[in-house]
Amino acid sequence: MLVLGIESTAHTLGAGVCRNGEVLSNAHDIYKPKKEGIVPRKAADHHAEVFSEVLSSSLSSAGVSMEELDLVAFSQGPGIGAPLAVGCTAAKYLSLKYSKPLIGVNHPYAHVKIAEHLTGVSNPLVLYVSGGNTQILAEEKSGFRIFGETLDIGLGNLFDTFAREAGMAYAHGSALENLARGGSYIELPYTVKGTNLSFTGLQTAAARALKEHPARDVAYSMMETAFSMCCEALERALFLTRKKGIIACGGVAQNRRLQSMLRILAKEDGVEFGVAPDEYNRDNGAMIAYAGDLLYTKKGTKPPEAWSPAPNQRIDSA
Q: Which amino acid is at 256?
A: R
Rounded Cα distance between 168 and 100, Å, is 44
Q: Does domain 2-110+280-306 have CATH number 3.40.50.720?
A: no
Q: Which amino acid is at 250?
A: G
Rounded Cα distance between 245 and 258, Å, is 16
Rounded Cα distance between 175 and 31, Å, is 15
Same fold across 2-110+280-306 and 122-278? yes
Indicate the pLDDT class of residue 3, thresholds 50, 70 and 90.
very high
Is 285 in contact with 26 (CB distance < 8 Å)?
yes
Domain boundaries of the chain, sorted by first residue = 2-110+280-306, 122-278
Domain 122-278: which topology?
A: Nucleotidyltransferase; domain 5 (3.30.420)
Is 283 in contact with 3 (CB distance < 8 Å)?
no
Is 273 in contact with 263 (CB distance < 8 Å)?
yes
Is 66 in contact with 52 (CB distance < 8 Å)?
no
Q: Is the pLDDT of residue 171 over 70?
A: no
Indicate the pLDDT class of residue 174, thresholds 50, 70 and 90.
confident
Q: Are strands 125-129 and 245-249 parallel, antiparallel or unpaired?
A: parallel
Rounded Cα distance between 7 and 287, Å, is 9
Rounded Cα distance between 31 and 50, Å, is 10
pLDDT tens per residue, range 272-304 = 999 999 999 999 999 999 999 999 999 999 999
Q: Write a three-state SS string for 112-177.
A: HHHHHHHHCCCCCEEEEECCCCEEEEEEECCEEEEEEEECCCCHHHHHHHHHHHCCCCCCCHHHHH
> Among candidates 67, 66, 85, which has minimal Cα distance to 76?
85
pLDDT tens per residue, range 20-75 = 999 999 999 999 988 788 999 999 999 999 999 999 999 999 999 999 999 999 99
Report pLDDT for 318. Answer: 83
309 upstream amide cis, omega within 30 of 0: no
Is 30 in contact with 44 (CB distance < 8 Å)?
no
Rounded Cα distance between 87 and 44, Å, is 9
β strands within 21-81, DSSP E = 22-30, 71-77
Q: Is the pLDDT of residue 169 over 80?
A: no
